[in-house]
């Protein structure tokens, strides 16, 4: 309806909304067949009467499945597979050396360099550092860390990190976890990638070189996200693993280097407290103030206690102190040496870090060290021992006897 000249045309709200909002004509959505040309009837077919399909028409069902789905050719597929298999390459590569020295019971880790790390900061770079853990075990107790290299994706460290008190049993059962992280002063440090190396791959006194792609950290499923069946299986496997581990089930709290020698001239046992390594941190500052106590059980008169001095703010203290127990060799065979490590606290009770018992009722290296001391008088025998969260049951039985 047209209005007269000079009259103001009125538009209702429906027309107004249609004018301002309507996107215009709707275009038809392209079909998947539009992307793949079909072969139509030829000139001789004319495409006309009868409706019979020409004999030379290529049926769609005969096309390769890859072409139907828009997949790549085998050559392109190899690149995709290699990209998937090299997904860890996007995180970077780490180059390092490992050396197990059986004579000194040490594991030397030489962190050399990394290449092509994943950018973690807004400037497209990262501030990477490397931290090491021995698994299983207390993480804070055996963590080693390199310095941080600033603003680089190809850091060079050339640092040597050393674990002390490593035995052949550790080489058989433990795994070295090497993680590369990005340091962030304003927030939490970010994880880039990790490598896990079973120590059984190492041979004594032979340096082994590694140049491996970093891998993503595989998160463990939380118990709440597991079904009842999975939780049951998980508990069963955990109990089975604990039963197989036996005494190794106890939580590790560090290592201690002890020296035992029975003196024929002085007619007594000389106990040397040399040093500790990778003790569990008991204070809020990430350290401990450790000292060592020794007892010769059973201790009816309660006179066998000896104690070292306190070493402040350290997880790797060196004591180099000796204690002497006057006792006959025949009587010593019925005794048990109890060694405990404590964290000294002012104004409250001291915290127990870990302990070990040496005697005929002990197991493994502790029992062997004790028997060698009895069989080789006047010989100073040094051995590393694992500190656990509690003393072996044999010590409690003997102490109550």
Q: What is the pLDDT of residues 18-77, one digit of tens each?
A: 555 555 555 666 665 555 555 554 444 444 444 444 444 444 444 444 333 333 333 333
Residue with more model confidence, 250 or 98: 98
Which pLDDT does position 11 carry in this prediction? Answer: 62
Asked whether 285 and 278 are in contact (CB, 8 A), the reply is no
Which pLDDT does position 143 carry in this prediction? Answer: 84
Mean pLDDT value across the chain? 76
Beta bridge partners of 98: 109, 208
Residue with more model confidence, 137 or 266: 266
Taking CA 195 as the corner, what is the angle to CA 191 and CA 198, rounded to the nearest 5 degrees?
A: 145
Q: Which long-range contacts (CB under 8 A, 24 or more apart) does 33-41 make?
A: 35/70, 36/63, 36/67, 36/68
Residue 7 per-residue DSSP state = P
Q: How confident is the model at residue 82 (pLDDT cuts 50, 70, 90)?
A: very low
Residue with more model confidence, 4 or 188: 188
> What does the alpha-carbon distance between residue 309 and residue 289 come to, in Å, rounded to a whole number?
10
Asked whether 252 and 265 are in contact (CB, 8 A), the reply is no
Which pLDDT does position 399 carry in this prediction? Answer: 37
Which pLDDT does position 241 carry in this prediction? Answer: 46
Q: Give the DSSP letter string of 136-205.
A: SS-TTTT-EE-PPPPS-SS-EEEEEEEEES--HHHHHH-EEEEEEEE--SSS--EEEEEEEEEGGG--BT
Give residue-wise pLDDT tens across range 106-132. 999 999 999 999 999 888 899 999 999
Which pLDDT does position 63 carry in this prediction? Answer: 41
Which pLDDT does position 169 carry in this prediction? Answer: 85
What ranges make up the beta strands (E) of 229-373?
Answer: 252-263, 268-277, 290-297, 306-307, 318-326, 336-343, 351-359
Give residue-wise pLDDT tens across range 187-215. 889 999 999 999 999 999 999 999 988 88
Name the region of 24 (left: φ>0; alpha: ψ -120 to 50; beta: rest): left
Q: Helix %, strand %, coil % for the chain, to 5? A: 25, 30, 45
According to DSSP, the β-strands at 144-145 and 128-135 are antiparallel
> What does the alpha-carbon distance between residue 259 and residue 236 come to, in Å, rounded to a whole number?
41
Q: How confident is the model at residue 270 (pLDDT cuts 50, 70, 90)?
A: very high
Give residue-wise pLDDT tens across range 343-385. 998 878 888 999 999 998 888 889 999 999 999 999 999 999 9
Which pLDDT does position 45 carry in this prediction? Answer: 43
Asked whether 344 and 125 are in contact (CB, 8 A), the reply is no
185 pLDDT above the threshold of 80 = yes
Q: How confident is the model at residue 396 (pLDDT cuts 50, 70, 90)?
A: very low
> What does the alpha-carbon distance between residue 114 and residue 284 come to, in Å, rounded to a whole number?
33
């Amino acid at each position: 309806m047209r209005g007269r000249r000079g009259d103001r045309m009125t538009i209702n709200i429906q027309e107004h909304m249609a004018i301002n909002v309507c996107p215009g004509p709707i275009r038809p959505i392209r079909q998947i067949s539009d992307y793949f040309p079909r072969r139509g009837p030829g000139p001789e077919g004319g495409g006309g009467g009868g409706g019979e399909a020409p004999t030379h028409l290529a049926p769609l069902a005969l096309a390769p499945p890859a072409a139907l789905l828009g997949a790549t050719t085998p050559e392109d597929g190899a690149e995709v597979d290699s990209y998937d298999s090299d997904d860890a390459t996007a995180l970077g590569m780490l180059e390092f050396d490992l050396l197990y020295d059986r004579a000194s019971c040490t594991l030397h880790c030489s962190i050399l360099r990394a290449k092509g790390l994943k950018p973690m900061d807004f400037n497209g770079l990262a501030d990477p550092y490397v931290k090491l853990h021995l698994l299983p075990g207390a993480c804070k107790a055996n963590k080693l860390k390199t310095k941080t290299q600033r603003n680089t994706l190809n850091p060079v460290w050339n640092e040597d990190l050393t674990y002390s008190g490593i035995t052949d049993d550790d080489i058989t059962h433990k795994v070295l976890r090497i993680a590369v992280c990005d340091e962030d002063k304003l927030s939490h440090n970010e994880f880039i990638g990790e490598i896990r190396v079973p120590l059984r791959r190492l041979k004594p006194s032979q340096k082994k070189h590694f140049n491996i792609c970093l891998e993503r950290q595989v998160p463990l499923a939380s118990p709440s996200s597991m079904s009842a069946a999975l939780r049951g299986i998980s508990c069963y496997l955990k109990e089975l693993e604990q039963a197989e581990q036996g005494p190794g089930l106890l939580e590790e709290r560090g290592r201690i280097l002890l020296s035992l020698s029975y003196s024929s001239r002085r007619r007594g046992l000389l106990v040397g407290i040399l040093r500790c390594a990778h003790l569990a941190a008991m204070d809020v500052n990430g350290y401990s103030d450790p000292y060592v106590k020794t007892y010769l059980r059973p201790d009816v008169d309660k006179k066998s206690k000896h104690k070292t001095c306190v070493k402040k703010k350290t997880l790797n203290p060196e004591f180099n102190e000796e204690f002497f127990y006057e006792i006959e060799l025949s009587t010593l065979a019925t005794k048990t040496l109890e060694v405990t490590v404590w964290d000294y606290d002012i104004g409250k009770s001291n915290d127990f870090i870990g302990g070990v018992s040496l005697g005929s009722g002990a197991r493994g290296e502790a029992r062997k060290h004790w028997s060698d001391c009895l069989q080789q008088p006047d010989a100073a025998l040094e051995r590393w021992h694992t500190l656990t969260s509690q003393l072996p049951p044999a010590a409690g039985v003997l102490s109550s006897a």
